[in-house]
Each structure stands twice: as structure tokens, then as C-alpha cells.
Amino acid sequence: MRNRLLLTSAISASFLAAVAPAMADTNVDGERTDPIRTSTANGGNPDNIIIGTNGRVVLSSGNPGPAVVLDSDNTVTNNGRIEISNTDNAVGILVEGGRTGGLTNTGGINLTETNGSVDTDGDGDIDGPLATGTNRVGILIDGNSPFNGNVTNTAAGGITVVGNRSAGIRNLAGINGNLVSNGRITMTGDFSYGIESRSRVTGDLLTAGNIVVTGEDSVGIHVGEMVDGLFLIRGNVASTGYRVAARPGDNVILDDDDTTQGGSAIQIGSSIGGG
């Protein structure tokens, strides 16, 4: 009887292995020009998304995306590039609240524009606004309930956003986990943020990379709601309203649009549980 039971168990295990569907991540290894969602990534079924080092999600001008959406209980890993140009309300990666998973960015997220600013008065510097577009967000966490998992921009990751009232990372839904940016964030535009956290983070908010924000009243890091864990800054955070940070040449005459008042490097408007 004992031998028979062992044989039956072995046959059952082999049978189950043969009939079980193969579980594999959905990979983007070339250029993709339409958005992708975890909820439908695998032939209409949910799956993890991995954008490879040679992978690109590039949306055409006028398509705000989001380029990548985490809208199921899965993960998104970007090792490649996500690009949207000359488009208002653009979002690189949207993480929907209420889902469980994780986001890891080790590649590039670029939301940029060509605004055509030139030296119109011959004074040696560019004239016109730093940015003309608006409401562009590299990574957006949004929804009616918190996201369950970590959101991480690794040391190899980079986020570049050009736009007014925009953000590199914007947390509106809340995160039951950690919000980490050890990579670079470059934000250009007025009334904008490098990291903008307006909802609760139950874990830690950690930064170790460089955050550079250029624009009138623009802020490096804004913490507007509770962080239960640590708020720790190990990198550089810089905010300026000046178009040129270095001393210009003697032949350059700075205009009012070159010397606006930047915002704070760091704003804390709520409690930090872990100090």
C-alpha cells in the first residue's frame, strides 16, 4: 500500500507539472509605440512587465499615456527607456492604488519638450519660459486607496521631466511600503516637484541620488502627509529659479525670466514617525 501511494503521488505531481500553464514575465526588448498594462500584458491576461535594457516604450507626441500602467497585482521593472515628448498631462508609469505588487525603475523615464526658446534680444542668454507644457509626471501613484508594495527608483535609474506644475515622482494614493529614489531626478519647470508625496507612506521615504529642480517656486522634495518610517536624505537636493546656476560671462545680461525665485529644497508638512 505504501509503495502504491508513493507512485500515485509521483504520477499526480508529473501530471500537474505537465498541464500547469507556464508562468513567465512579459518582456519588452524592442521599441514599443503603444502603452502597456500589467492587467492585459500577457495576451489579455495579467502579468509582470519587464522592459529590458534594449527595450523602449516611446509614445508619439499628443499621446499622454500613461506609457506603462501597473493596474493588477503584479510588478513592473523598467531597465530600458520610457519616452513621451511635447505632450501635456503625460505620465511615464502609473501605479494604481489598491493593487499589490512593486515598481522598480533602473532605466530612464523622459518626459520632455522642444519649446523653441531662443535669445530674442541679443543679450547672450535664452529668453522665454523654462517650460511651456504642464502636468507631466514621471512616476504617478494615484487612486482611491493605497498601493501595497514598494516604489523604487534605483541608483541606476533616471527621471527627467520638463513641464510646469509637474513632478518626477508624485504620490497621491498612498503607499503601504517604501518610497525610494536612489537615482537621479531632473525637473525643469515652474511650480513643480522632484518628489511630491501628498498621501501617506507607511514605510520609509529614502533618497540617495541627486535631485535637481529648476523653476519658479519649484521644490526638491515635498512631504505633505504622514511618513510612518524614516525620512532619510543621503544625496543632494537642489532647487533654484535661475536659468543658469553658474556665473555667466561678462557679455551676458540676465533678464527677469532668468532669475525667478525657486522654492525650497525640502518641504515637510506632516509628521515623520521614524524621524
153-171 pLDDT per residue, tens: 999 999 999 999 999 999 9
Q: What is the mean pLDDT of the chain?
A: 87
Whole-model pTM: value is: 0.85
What Å distances lie between residue 78 and 49, 57, 84, 92, 211, CA to CA?
Answer: 8, 10, 15, 11, 20
Cell numbers for 154:
534605483
DSSP the chain: -HHHHHHHHHHHHHHHHHHSPPP--EEE-SEE-S-EEGGGTBTTB---EEE-TT-EEEEPTT----SEEE-SS-EEEESSEEEEES-TT-EEEEEETT-EEEEEE-SEEEEE-------SSSSSS--S-S---B--EEEEEESSS-EEEEEEE-TT-EEEEE-BT-EEEEESS-EES-EEE-SEEEEESTT-EEEEE-S-BSS-EEE-S-EEEESTT-EEEEE-S-BSS-EEE-S-EEEE-BS--SPPPTT----GGGBPPP--SEEE-S-BTT-
Three cell numbers written together for 234: 543621503
Cα separation, 166 vs 190, in Å, equals 8
Neighbours of 259 (CB within 10 A): 13
> What are the pLDDT digits (tens) for 67-77?
999 999 999 99
Mean pLDDT, residues 211-218? 95
Residue 133 has phi, psi (to 5 degrees) of: -80, 175
Instruction: Give the position of cell 519638450.
Output: 113
CB within 8 Å of 232: residues ≥ 6 apart: 204, 205, 206, 207
Beta bridge partners of 170: 140, 196
Q: What is the pLDDT of residues 77-96, one digit of tens each?
A: 999 999 999 999 999 999 99
Q: Give the pairing type, strands 108-112 and 81-85.
A: parallel
* Average pLDDT estimate for 177-198: 98
Pairing verdict, β 266-268 and 219-223:
parallel
Place 268 in a pLDDT band, splitting at 50, 70 and 90. Answer: very high
More confident residue, 252 or 33: 33
List Cβ neighbours of 11 (8 Å cut-off, separation of 6 or more): none
